[in-house]
Amino acid sequence: MGLFGRKAQPPVEEDARMWIESSMHKLIEMFGESTFQNVTVLLPNKQFFPDTWSSPEECVEKLYLRACAYLPVDRSRLQLEIFAEVEDPLGGLAVGSRSYSGAAGYFTREAGDDRFTIAVKLSESNDVIAIVATIAHELGHFYC
């Protein structure tokens, strides 16, 4: 029994729980258990992202630079692009290694090129949590 006589409910459905656990096991195999034991969890708040900005473009740029500073990424191999809202910025092309994550951003690398592009939709920049999540998601592709 949980608090006040009610049975405690898990925060996610059983299928989601199984997927999360399976994914965590795969990540531990890939990166080692110590990676997850000795890490600071970054939150999209003023503690980790204290910057101020005067334009949506500056917002995206500062949050991107701050996120890169927290992660072990080689910024010389990354470039940031900010794009306006379009249906598919890749035009349906699948040349090289590309991943398009929907309207908020995408990650791309041209075949034979050592540099990667992380693109973020400009209209997402009014929501700091969304833009940090998008940047973190796209930077995650750098490791895969």
Q: Are residues 17 and 66 in the same domain?
A: no
pLDDT of residue 4: 62
Query: pTM for the full model?
Result: 0.69
pLDDT of residue 78: 92
Report yes or no on 75 lying in a domain.
yes
Q: Are residues 23 and 69 in the same domain?
A: no
Q: Are residues 21 and 72 in the same domain?
A: no
Strand partners for 82: 120
Report yes or no on 93 lying in a domain.
yes
pLDDT of residue 19: 93
Report yes or no on 22 lying in a domain.
yes
Supply the range of the domain harboring residue 26: 3-37
How many distinct structural domains can be found in the chain? 2
Q: Are residues 75 and 121 in the same domain?
A: yes
Report yes or no on 47 lying in a domain.
no
Report yes or no on 46 lying in a domain.
no
pLDDT of the chain, 144 residues: tens digit per residue: 555 667 777 788 999 999 999 999 998 998 899 888 888 888 888 999 999 998 889 999 999 999 999 988 888 999 999 988 655 555 555 455 555 444 588 888 878 888 889 999 887 557 888 889 899 989 888 876
